[in-house]
Amino acid sequence: MTKTVTTRYDVAEHLRTPEEMAAYLEACLEEADGDAAFIAKALGDIARAKGMSQVARDAGISRESLYKALSGERVPGFDTILKVTKALGLSLHAEAAVTSQ
């Protein structure tokens, strides 16, 4: 019998372009169902794809603080989210929610 070898899947290895990063964040926003830590983790995945050190420099946050903020174990402040999205070259948009009447 052949032994199957598996490796851990890391989405950051597959986020290569700004468009892929934006699509990933958009999908996570749709799936989050109000879970801010989930969105923070998604931003962490994108930051790892771009390089945490560079994102931390661009956001004006220490690398250690950035790792903690985007670990998914805590909810970072909105100011941190705004700094990180800007450093990632992403922007947040709003649209009217579809409601059933």
Domain limits, the chain: 11-87
pLDDT at residue number 101? 64
pLDDT at residue number 100? 67
pLDDT at residue number 74? 87
Q: Smallest Cα–Cα separation from 92: which of 20, 29, 42, 40?
A: 29
pTM, rounded to two decimals = 0.87
Max CA separation in the chain (angstroms): 59
pLDDT at residue number 26? 94
pLDDT at residue number 32? 92
User: Could you count the other beta carbons within 10 Å of the beta carbon of residue 69?
Assistant: 24
pLDDT at residue number 89? 95
Dist CA 57 CA 98 (whole Å): 38
pLDDT at residue number 7? 87
Query: Which is it for the CA torsion 44, 45, 46, 52, positive or negative?
Result: positive
Total number of residues shown for the chain? 101
Dist CA 32 CA 78 (whole Å): 16
pLDDT at residue number 22? 96
Per-10-residue mean pLDDT of the chain, 101 residues long, equals 89 95 95 92 96 96 95 92 96 82 64
